[in-house]
Chain A
């Protein structure tokens, strides 16, 4: 008789360990493929997993094989149509052996190896060694958020913190130790006494027993009074000690210039940058709020749709956005609870006097309270990050700030594929500085 087993409910991810081993093995290749995929992908898909292809180099499993391009061999094929013995057939070009498919199966296989990555794996690889510099500090040094955590019991405390169960336990052990008579014992004797007393014709033994019972009950009750049910020394309280915890919340301010000089292309590039930053923060913090502030000559806090696709026109006053950000931060995001990140995208056009205002605002009000401030300037198509020839007002003004503040970074972006390297550079460069200092 057969034995039937339903395995469907067994744990599924039996291959997970092997899968991770494989990814670790192919790490470098997979990373390259992921970087490429991100550069090519559309905005909504940026963080999703998907299929990547890698060359087979690092993951080959060599074995001794007979080569297909030397010696002589015989084989049999089905489906002869019109050959007769002695016919000669030209070999197909390229595949020696005339067995195209088989040859490529057993051969070393030049085809790229493609497979699917899950979202988590994809992001892991995407953000590998891409640490925000102040993040480390935030979790090690900047432990400003305090939280009270349970830490055992104490003998004194406030009444609301009374630990009832613990108190009762202590009380019980004290009562046992001091042999306090229980109510049940007293009740039993009293019941016996009552039974004897209602007896119609008590005998001598009963009389004696009654007297004895009176004495016993009296003794027990006295002892009960002497050893209280709950003594003040039994009382315990829950103890709470203040613990420093890393702030698990982050707010990300997205500042963007939406004046007429910012076209679709510029906005699209900015959006990609914001998305990357958001993805990154989402992985690091339990909660990430995003505040969108767009500005022309005046700034407004808007929702995402409005931010990217709303139409607005006017001049350019960058400081208005900075002021709006300061206001929003003060109103809703106390520095004790929130890590503040800020990303600003602009095409660099701003009046000279306002740029100076911006620098002052940043240096005095914003940077001291911000974990990281990234400014990207969307350059003209074809310009590169290293191209310093076209210096905008804002860029020049910010350049000094870059030297002074370690949590301020700026970069130029001109093409879609630039975004990711720039993003990476912005953050890794800081790490190096941090490590050096």
Chain B
């Protein structure tokens, strides 16, 4: 990451604004891009993938919407469904289209709508091509789980592979496999990095060391100690089961992976389809965990850059006002009892938290010093923010950086809801006793894995009638939604080819 150098805005020659009026052309966009890039690199110290900015029409934006934002995607009816729905919403004016879509790829592709005014194009470039781009490149989750350099090639491969399969095996067969795979997308990700497979030599070395250690430490006396664990004498079935589970690496939470590798019913091309869906699910997993931060980062970046442009005299007051107007719309947070309320707006909270961190660094209050001793008064807010963007996800970010001041500003309150009771209880509000409770409750809601059912494959009997056993570990008594549970199980049955059971096992609350 480059060192932060402040550009003295006042000293640059103020030779007029970069653009005038709403119309844009490629030359102007390029000049604005360069001005934005200067601020992003030199002032904020952002580190981005090379940018590729594509101008598209509204219709193409709709297309992109329906294929989960990706420039190329394999064919499936569900994308058509999304398209027809979005189209109606858009045509009737219920829903405006996004100004941009940005793809975590290298080079980083951002789509800008042709309808945007020049001022909006500037915002969009700052937001997507620098804000999101920096986040994609630097956040640990993206680094760990995604391959931005290869994603477009992979999608291209996937698209062609699916098309070939449709030709060879029929659209319907492909569709039913993809349907089933899509149903398991939520259970098709690895949540933890898995140990790399050992090379044979390394494996041998470890085994030898282990044996040597055992030989060295062997003491016959232990065998005689009363109550010592006897050699496992469980009946044959149990031993079998243990060996079997070991061999299949059970329990396994990545259902798609397990089915791809072990299902007796699937053909090779079906396994490959499962793999494609699984890879995509994995690719999108970091985005689901960092919605708040990603948007907060991008919004903060565009806000800072646009103000920087204005300070340098590169954009006019009118353009600034237009930008601030749409910025205000984007970061609007409605109260819970407002008609327009639709959950906590990630743009609003994310942006507010980024600004708050900047404030804590620059002008901390006593409260901030108490809550955030590590960053309060550190002056160098750019480095602090870059560190935050690189090393947190939504859940840990909120848990670490949501300040009492923001809890007061948003007037957040925590509710607890028991299905068995007819009312909900206010657990905490924005007061001294409540801050931590509110913060922790909010952080929990951003924990993607805690808000998704924890379903694992626990056992499979490959010899008999091959039943597959899944276990849903029930947390806080929250069970699976009934209707969809059955429909999804049918899909798993299709992939597994034999009986699939799902048991719901409660664990004690707060265990």
Contact = CB atoms under 8 A, between A and B. Distances in A.
A115 B335 contact: no
User: Looking at A85, A113, A116, which has the most chain B CB atoms within 10 Å of its CB?
Assistant: A85
Contact of A77 (B51, B336, B475): B336
B214 interface: no
B54 A5 contact: yes
Interface string A9-28: 01010110111111111100
B445 interface: yes
B410 A64 contact: no
A79 B337 contact: yes
Interface in A7-51: 7-8, 10, 12, 14-15, 17-26, 51
Interface residues of B, number: 103
B478 A73 contact: yes
Given A15-B79, A115-B88, A79 B114 contact: no
A76 B453 contact: no
B337 A81 contact: yes
Given A72-B476, A74-B445, A108-B481, 12 more contacts: A3-B107, A8-B57, A15-B63, A15-B83, A63-B183, A64-B453, A70-B478, A71-B478, A72-B509, A75-B417, A80-B411, A108-B483
Given A66-B479, A73-B478, A116-B91, A4 B415 contact: no
A264 interface: no
Contacts, number: 271
B114 to A, nearest CB: 6
Contacts of A61: 78, 179, 182-183
B80 A5 contact: no
B478 A12 contact: no
B335 A78 contact: yes
A8 B114 contact: yes
8 contacts: A3-B107, A4-B52, A71-B475, A73-B417, A75-B415, A77-B344, A79-B333, A89-B415
A165 interface: no
B341 A65 contact: no
Interface stretch (B222-230, B301-309, B423-431): B423-431
Contact of A6 (B55, B179, B491): B55
B484 interface: yes
B69 interface: no
Nearest to A21: B77
B81 A59 contact: yes
Contacts of B462: none
Nearest to A113: B85
B481 A66 contact: yes
Given A21-B175, A88-B424, A15 B419 contact: no
A205 B419 CA distance: 124
Contacts of B80: 15, 17-23
B53 A19 contact: no
A97 B417 contact: yes
B335 A74 contact: no
Given A18-B80, A21-B77, A98-B424, A80 B416 contact: no
B50 A3 contact: yes
Contacts of A25: 77, 175
A91 B430 CA distance: 22
Interface string A109-143: 00001111000000000000000000000000000
A349 B33 CA distance: 80
A8 B175 CA distance: 31
B79 to A, nearest CB: 4
B414 interface: yes
A108 B482 CA distance: 10
Interface in B81-112: 81, 83-85, 87-88, 91, 107, 111
Given A18-B80, A25-B77, A79-B336, A67 B422 contact: no
A18 B77 contact: yes
Contact of B415 (A15, A77, A115): A77
A280 to B, nearest CB: 26
Contact of A63 (B33, B433, B488): B488
Contacts of A84: 426, 429
A74 B417 contact: yes
B483 A76 contact: no
Contacts of A86: 425-426
Contacts of B488: 62-64
Interface string A80-114: 11011111111100001110011000011000011
Contacts of A89: 415, 423-426
Given A3-B51, A87-B425, A74 B418 contact: no
Contacts of A1: 50
Nearest to A53: B88
A14 B453 contact: no
B341 A4 contact: no
A69 interface: yes
Contact of B60 (A10, A59, A108): A10
Contacts of A108: 481, 483-484
Contacts of A85: 426-429, 431, 433-434
A42 B131 CA distance: 52
A226 interface: no
A60 interface: yes
Contacts of A64: 186-187, 452-453, 455, 472, 480-481, 484-485, 488
B487 interface: yes
Interface in B176-193: 179, 182-187
A371 B324 CA distance: 69
A67 B333 contact: no
A137 B63 CA distance: 42
B54 to A, nearest CB: 4
A215 interface: no
Interface string B38-52: 000000000000111
A90 B423 contact: yes
A291 B54 CA distance: 54
Interface stretch (B201-209, B264-272, B282-290, B436-444): B436-444
